[in-house]
Structures are given as C-alpha cells and as structure tokens.
Structure 1
Amino acid sequence: VAFAKRPFPTPPLDVRPRHFSVTEIETLRRDPYAIYARRILSLMPLEPLVRDPGAAERGTLFHEILHRFSTSGVDPRAPVALETLIDVGRQCFSEASLPDDVRAIWWPRFEKMAVGILGWETRRADSIKTRHAEARAEKTLVGSSGVTLSGYA
C-alpha cells in the first residue's frame, strides 16, 4: 500500500491568518499544518489531566517578575533592590499557584537568579544609560500580504 500524501493545506486567502506573533513564525516555518489546525480549523490541544508546569511556564513567570521589577522604578543598585525583587517574586509566585513540588524547586532558583541579576546590573552600571521594561510591539509587514507581526521587545 502506498503511503498517504503529506498534508498540504492551502486555504483560500480570505481565511488565512492576518496576524502572527513572533513566536509563531518558527512554528509556521517548521510545521505550517500546526498553524492551519489551530488558527483555521480551531483545533486546540486538550489540557493535560495533571498540570505539570515546564520550562515555558517558568520562563513566563520569571519574565513577569523582571517586568514588574523594572517598572517599579527601583534602581538595581539601590540597597532595597534585592528585597524589592524578592517581594515581586513572592507576589508573582503566589499568583501563579504552582504545585508545591514545583514551587520547592523554582523558588530557590529564582532567589539565586535574583542575586545574579542584580550583581550583573551592578557590574554593568556604567554602561547602562536607561532601562526599559518589555513592551508590546506590532508592525504591519511591507508587501502585498498585509500580515501583521507582533511580539514583545
């Protein structure tokens, strides 16, 4: 029996997505069918029965902590910087409602990371002119597609 042909979806232009996030571009290049299934067929993966946060969730959590700290206006070289960063971390960890076993591993990592980040900021103090938090950016691509690309910078 011959193998089935690989899926090659070609939806009409009027139903194709007009907006992509920066992180979707890699998926679009690697596996366009995944974008087709999610964005055109509206197929979403089922939630796992047991929630097991992974690297993506940890990265999102740590980014949120750093975002809130950077928008707090506290200079990373100030004597209260570590205390402020740890307090922001506690607040974000509380909001994340992580399972106890995950929190037991991630929190000590965050505390070490906090000391390291402030140390790095202190070493680079003379070369940093201004600090900015992540901000949402959107840009319509030039060309006939008119597709919008967005992300955080």
Structure 2
Amino acid sequence: MFDPPAGLDARTWPLAVDLHERFYFKPDAGKLIGSLADETDSPPCDAYPEDIDVAIAVDRIEQATELRIGRPQRPWAGLRTFSPDRTPVVGFDPRLPGFFWLGGQGGYGFQVSLTLARIASALLRDAAMPADVASLGVEFGALAPVRFMAAAHTPSLSPAGP
C-alpha cells in the first residue's frame, strides 16, 4: 500500500497492469495497492513478502510510471491457488456431499471475486447463471470441479490423479 501523488484522488483510477504482467497497481481505500504479480511456488503458509520482492515491485512501478513510492506503508503477500487448467473452480464436489469449491482464482482475485461470488451464489441457491455473466458465454460446467475428475472419480483434483 502506498499513497497516491499529493493532491490527487486515486479512488476512481483503473487497475493498471504491465503488458507482461510483471506488476500491477490499483486504488484501494484511498491509497494505491501494488504488486509484483509474481507466481512463486510455496507450500501453504502464513505468507509475508520478501524485502527484495517489495523493492522489485516498487522499482517496476516507478520505472513504468511517474509515481514515486519510496517505502510502502504496508507490505503484504498472498497465496495464489491455481487449478490444473488455470480456470477458477466453482461448484459442488460430486464425491463429498456438502463440499463446495470456490478456488483457483490465481492472481486475479481482485478482478474476478465478485463475479465468482455471484456464480457461487446462483449454484448454492440452485438458480440460473446471472444473465450478464451468461451473456458472456460462461457456463457452470466450465467452472465445475468435476472437469478434473476421471470417470472413476479419483480423490484428487490433480490431472494425473493419485
């Protein structure tokens, strides 16, 4: 998190992403939030950013813009989850009654979380896909966890199975 330039209200700024997705920044609660947009493999953990990663993100944003960040106010890190096909997973698991998947948002949670929540809500209520989402060609089956399960219903979402 860092302050926008003095005297500028960044609350209505759009998300800005580097063409090669090497960084992004966006408004958040009157400040700007920036990210290295990296994908570093990690076991599940309480994520915390490495100082070098924060420095690289600041440098990339400053090199590409006229923003001068200096020292960020609140460095943070998050864990990204990906499905084997890098598409979110939304739906009931046919092998585990009552278990509902809502994951695999990768590094796009900021952009897709509201729409995925609406899709999940529709599925949980046994309702139709929201009309505006359906008009984009999105179908429940394209997000369903069953797409990774072999006919024998293996107990893993891994494409290779156990």
Whose helix proportion is higher, 1 or 2? 1
The TM-score with structure 1 as length reference comes to 0.31
Kindly name which structure, 1 or 2, has the bigger radius of gyration based on alpha carbons.
1
The TM-score with structure 2 as length reference comes to 0.30
- RCO (CA 8 Å, sep 6+): is it higher in 1 or 2? 1
